[in-house]
Structures are given as C-alpha cells and as structure tokens.
Amino acid sequence: MGADDPIRLHAAGRVSAEVALARLILNGHDPETLAAHILSAGNAALARIAGARGDGLRRLKALLDGSGLHHGVADADPAAAIAAVRTAFDRAVAASPEASVAAYSLGDGDLLRQATGEIVCWLDGLGVLRPDTDMLDFGCGIGRIAAAVAPHVRSVLGLDLSPAMIGTARRRAALPNLRFATTAGADLADQPDARFALILAVDSFPYLFGAGRDCAQRHMADFARIVRPGGAITILNLSYRGPAEDLADARAWAAAHRLTLAVAGATPFALWDGRAFLWRKPDPRDGG
C-alpha cells in the first residue's frame, strides 16, 4: 500500500470517505469486493461506508466502463485527445449526470449538492460573487455550479466541450441569467476581451493538460485576456500531475500575464480534495 493509497489518505484525514472510495474504483477495484478489501486493510469504518454506498460504487464503475473516462484521457495528437474527451463526457453524462462531473458524488444528488455548496461558499468568502458579476463557468458540465451561483451574480455563460453536457445543463439549469454553449476545446479565441469579472474552471483544466500543456497554456492566456481588470480567475484542480508542478505553472502564468496569484494550491473543501488557484487581474484605476 503506497503513500498515495486512498485508504491510507483517508485514514490520515487527507481525503473524505467518498473521494477515497471513488479513487479506489478509478484505480480499478471491483465494487463487489471493495468493502472486503478495505476491511482486510484494517479500516472497518470505511468498509462500512463502502457497503452502504454499494449502488453508487456500481454506478461509477458502469460509467467508467461505458465511457472510457478515467484520469488523464490523453493522446499524442491534441485534436484526437480533445475528441476523445468529448466522446467520453458525452457517454459519461448519459450514464450518470452527477457522477460524470464529480466521481466522488457516486451519482448521489445530495452529495453533489453538498460539494457544490462548499465551492459556492468558498467563492462567496473571497468576495468574487457580486450582483454585477458576469461570470464564465469554463467546462461547466451539467451546470451545477452555474445554477448554484445564479442568485448571487448578474450572468453566467457556461461553456463545455461536450454537447451532451450542454444539453443536460440547459435542461437542469434553465434560469434567466444563465446561458450555455459548446466550445471547440482548443482555445477561447472567439471570446471578446475583458468580458468577465469572474472566470471559474472546476476540474476541467486537467483535461486540457490531457490535450497537451500548450492547450492548457493557450486557455490560460485567453482567460487573462477575457477577464476584466479587477476581476478574478479561479481554477479548481489545475492538472492531475502533482502539487509542485501545478504551483510552478501557476506562478509562471501569473508572471507571464501580469496577474497576482492570491490562492496557490489550497485544499479548502471538506468533501472534495480539489486544489484551488486564484489569480487577480490588477485594475490600473486602483493603482494596480
């Protein structure tokens, strides 16, 4: 059992039970024997949760088997990698909308709402949700974040690579200040300068890295261009590499685009172990 074994990470208080269980399934464990495996590793409490969450574990396994979706869908050819991610998410959302955007929800709507609430509360605490905020939800999936922030902001544009995700978002999050559209996946060249006060990307950037670091860098350059002076860019999970590589990129991007790195890899959530980065774009009118 290595140091990054999910059972060990959970026992050390570093990931929630749900994240540990989802990771064990992502690592290829069989839902039918998972509780026994965890028990044999000496964690009776987690084994009990695995037993109680049997349906969710089977749902996640079926989603992964049916979609081909796993951490790091990658291809040497960026266009082929983007196409593979599109197909994988189109299939995943058909299998389980909730698990397709957050494996640790195990397809449970209540768990997903709880996780979403933590993210919205964190954003609110940073003062980035305001009645005059126009926001971009990049890689918006089924629109769960857009729907949850809708009462707090002026507008949200949700963009996603997957047409099935966008179709689901339009059905599930049909609110007057939300709009959803597909994006081609290579960059955001079609978005006008200084359009958004807040750009949020929740667990979508790792898939850009799957299409090559250039794809991630191009999106970040576009984020820096389309965010307003005085605005903020938040990426939750930059990649599935490691904290040191993510921090190095976050600092390099701040320097390259004249942004201030205000949150540098924190893990502020109880349910999800997403790693948070936030850059602010100085406003020259404030002397920034």
Ligand X SMILES: C[S@@+](CC[C@H](N)C(=O)[O-])C[C@H]1O[C@@H](n2cnc3c(N)ncnc32)[C@H](O)[C@@H]1O
Enumerate binding residues for ligand X (CB under 6 A). Answer: 82, 85, 89, 101, 139-141, 144-145, 159-162, 165, 183, 185, 202-204, 207-208
Q: Where are the beta strands (DSSP E) in the chain?
A: 134-138, 155-160, 178-182, 196-202, 227-236, 260-266, 276-280
Q: Smallest distance from the beta carbon of 101 to ligand X, in angstroms?
A: 3
Region class of 42: left (phi > 0), else alpha (psi between -120 and 50), else beta: left
Closer Cβ to ligand X, 20 or 99, answer by number: 99
Q: Smallest distance from the beta carbon of 16 to ligand X, in angstroms?
A: 16
Q: Of all residues in this chain, which one has the CB nearest to ligand X in the complex?
A: 141
Show the tokens assigned to 106: 């195990």
Q: Smallest distance from the beta carbon of 287 to ligand X, in angstroms?
A: 34
Q: Which residue has the tokens 């949850």?
A: 148
Give the angle 85-88-93 at the CA atoms, nearest 5°: 120
Q: Smallest distance from the beta carbon of 217 to ligand X, in angstroms?
A: 13
Closer Cβ to ligand X, 37 or 182, answer by number: 182
CA 194 → CA 60, 223, 228, distances in Å?
39, 9, 4
Q: How far is CA 28 from the centre of its chain?
A: 21
CA distance 49 to 69: 24
CA distance 116 to 174: 17
Q: Which residue has the tokens 């979508």?
A: 204
Q: Smallest distance from the beta carbon of 47 to ligand X, in angstroms?
A: 27
Q: Smallest distance from the beta carbon of 247 to ligand X, in angstroms?
A: 21
Closer Cβ to ligand X, 43 or 144, answer by number: 144
Closer Cβ to ligand X, 18 or 203, answer by number: 203
Q: Please answer whether residues 158 and 146 qualify as being in contact, where contact means their C-beta atoms are separated by less than 8 angstroms.
A: yes
Closer Cβ to ligand X, 15 or 47, answer by number: 15
Q: Smallest distance from the beta carbon of 109 to ligand X, in angstroms?
A: 13
Q: Please answer whether residues 177 and 149 qualify as being in contact, where contact means their C-beta atoms are separated by less than 8 angstroms.
A: no
Closer Cβ to ligand X, 46 or 92, answer by number: 92
Closer Cβ to ligand X, 133 or 183, answer by number: 183
